[in-house]
A and B are shown apart, each in its own frame.
Chain A
């Protein structure tokens, strides 16, 4: 398998700039998730790499071949990329088998051996080969779409929000099957998604795209633990961001003096406190800070607790049996170290 390099890529529609100078590299056989809210330009990035749209500036290189640069636009059919659309886009007039072998040459299509192999790869029974697409569930359609994309042995597989149209139950199962198939095929892949949990759990690397700019590219763990700025931190999950005064290795804020995970130049900034870093003590005594429970969202395995501390609103997450009620006075403590942004 092969790598992808995108450098200085720009795209505007009319007078709206969708992508500002994107630089991105995907290593061979890695899965990169492009994560961003809707309208951030992530689908446009994918369509530029596929060749469905022309870029305004910059280059795209797949393996050793430049497929787009100023004055050059290689047609999508010549780029040898696999593309899985949001809803699979299976051809409704063809059977599952005919869909899978669609991208193969005429002689290969006649032999039709690869269809069974690919059905195995995506974890579907071979008996499905003669069904019509509408006889499959949404998740099964997505798996067939991946099999179809993998059939011509593409250099790169691009998945455009492939799980967003599925309901929760199917989603988990389909994710697993597709991840497994991509690993077996040793495919280099890009997954576009707006779902943080999906991006963090599936990919080797995550690229966060905010307003047409790449905010951060990192492994899931780095991204969650060491977000580059407040915007990335806020986008990656529920956060408490409160103003504070940074003093080298510690920070002063409404929650007291907290240790920082890394040294920062002195000055005012924002302190990031993840909900799981707030410990709640049901009796408000001792060294803990006093707060009031204002709302409880109970999810079963855990619960999200909204707290009010003088003029500050905080969110905490607790697991296990819950002994709190709305209006209760509690004490809170912060588990150091925390991150801050200058």
Chain B
């Protein structure tokens, strides 16, 4: 019991607050599909730009729409885009990284130089380029952010994989007649998974910031969809008049990023302490 406590004390100090923050925001986004505090399709000019009150805890915007409802709607897009971008990075980057670690030489070189090439492009500029060519919209945002996740996951997977390939159990698996591909899938992937999962949490928080940035400059999702970045964009001109319009979306972004970073840090610590025990 005490051993278990000692092992998990530090990781849990990160994981619990991180998970709570993430869970609250994800729930807010999910609930928005079935229920909202107020109908945001109705314009109510009489109640515009109201400060936080019992009726509208996050105040109202310039069209009199409920701030809390808008934040909940924004959570859908902000978290959804980040999730899809991480999924794209994982889906393409991890197989590439496994392949690079399994096949030394030419394939490794190709995958890694391809990653370097992507890294060489400034991320924001490239995203703007993609948006300019194919137009704004949620799918394009996902692609723009996700492309930059691919080399990150490829490099992390390759690095963790190369360490595993050196170990004697891989030699044992080869003697047992396993090919490089099945060794990569059966042995390397799940031993590299801790590192990949911790990286995914970090990429998640970076995805949220990237989406907010693109939406803020008007290249993200378009009306009537909401996102936290778009809310910030709309609050821009009114910030002197109604600061709450900027404060609450900003807080949502901050808490989401904090939550995912804590989660990533905690998972990393948990895997580390398990490794030490062995």
* Pairing of A with B: no
Q: Which residues of B contact A (CB under 8 A)?
A: none
Q: Which residues of A contact B (CB under 8 A)?
A: none
